[in-house]
Every structure is written in structure tokens, then in C-alpha cells.
Amino acid sequence: MEPKKYPCELPNYIDINLIEHEPDTLDEIRYGVTFVYNDRKESTKTVIVIMKNPSNSLQGSTSEKSKLLIDETTDIILRFLHRYKVRYGKKEMIKKVIILNLFPCYGSNPNEINVRYKFDDKDYDESLLYNDELVHNRKYISDTINKIEDATVICAWGRYGSEEKVIKSYYEKQIELVMNDLLKLRKYISVVAKNSYKIKKPFLPTHGRAWKCEEHTICTTPTKDINY
């Protein structure tokens, strides 16, 4: 079998008519996107995944566009969660997946985040993390999670990476700001990993692209154990 080529079309178990995204036209930024599995009529379970930033998944799409393309990470996440049955509390198949991001800007190379928000590795300026776009993005994350009472929240933005990357000081501070917002909501925080996972600073959970159906499980850490 030939390796899958990316970007690729949506899997046939995703209902293309129920995809929602913000904003309506995805050119430079994406605050969130919702996918719904079409074979889960009896389920209501929602999983929210927080990534680093959109790569090129759905880029250029509008709500009227019929053919949508996703990147490898989105494909892996949707496949993993489609096969997964939530194993704590009520065992339930997942119906809906919402993908959010630490940074809303599109860019397959994380260095594009530095360029868009003018991050500089020589002169750290925390005020850059408080521009309107990033403030709105953090609020969007909190509001989305807060309105879905029983959603499973998975952090999956990954480590620093070996290629050009988000400058460490800004990356860690943005993680801290998002985590502090999540803790105020008093929600359980989950990761996908091989074993139980202790959340500590800096919080660098397994990236969605590394999830393996045969190896990893959703690990949930009570808020009282989070060192943030």
C-alpha cells in the first residue's frame, strides 16, 4: 500500500456538512474547527484538542466549499479519536472533535508564528502576547471549553521541535497563559501518551502527529496534581 499523501481529503466517517470553523474564511488564521463523526448517532461525547497552530488544514476553505483538505496531524487525530472509546467515567464513543490552537495563525513551519507576532529571540517583550488576535484566541479557547460541560480536553501542542520553532520564551509564556485560563475553569486536563502523565512546567505534551492507536491512551490528570 502506498503511503498516504498530504494534504488529503476528509475521511469518509466525517460528516462534511457539519464542519464548522471560525472565522468563516480560513486564509491567515483559524481559531477553531469542529468535526463530527457520521456513524455515532447515539453518542454526544465531545473531545477538544489544543494544538500549537494550524498547519495548512482546511486553509482557503469557506463554509460553502464542498471539497476540504486536511493535513497529516489532523488526519491522525481524527483517526485516533474515531477508534477510541473514552475509558473513564461512562464508556462512550466520541461523536465530535473540536481542534483549537495556542496560536491561531496558519503556517506549516512554526517560525511563521514568530514572524506574524514579531517575536524576537534577542529582546523578549511579553506585551506581544497581548495583541488583539492572541487575546481573542485565548478567550476563544476558554469560552469553547467552558460551554461544553463534559468535554474531554486534550493538550497536544508538542515540544519545541528540531526545526525552526516558536521562540522558547514566548512559547512557554503562551502555554502558561492558556493553562492558567484552563485551571480557572476547573476542568480535567488530558494528554495522549503511553503511560500516566505528570503535568509540570514547561508543559510540553505529546504532539497529535505522534499519537499511535496501538500504543497510546488518553491520560487524564486531576487539576490538583497540575504543577502550574
Domain count, the chain: 1
Mean pLDDT in each 10-residue stretch from start to end of the chain (228 residues)? 82 93 93 95 92 92 75 96 71 90 94 95 95 98 95 94 84 96 91 84 93 90 76
Q: What is the pLDDT of residue 215?
A: 87
Domain hosting 130: range is: 8-225
| Interatomic CA distance for residues 80 and 47, integer angstroms | 12
Q: What is the pLDDT of residue 114?
A: 95
- On whether residue 2 sits in a domain, the answer given is no
- On whether residue 1 sits in a domain, the answer given is no
Does the N-terminal peptide bond of residue 7 adopt cis geometry, omega within 30 degrees of 0? yes
Q: What is the pLDDT of residue 160?
A: 86
DSSP codes of every residue in 172-203: HHHHHHHHHHHHHTT--EEEEESS-----SS-
Q: Quick one: which H or E segment has residue 75?
A: helix 72-83
- On whether residue 208 sits in a domain, the answer given is yes
Q: What is the pLDDT of residue 195?
A: 79
Q: Is 161 left (phi over 0), alpha (psi -120 to 50) or beta?
A: left
- On whether residue 3 sits in a domain, the answer given is no
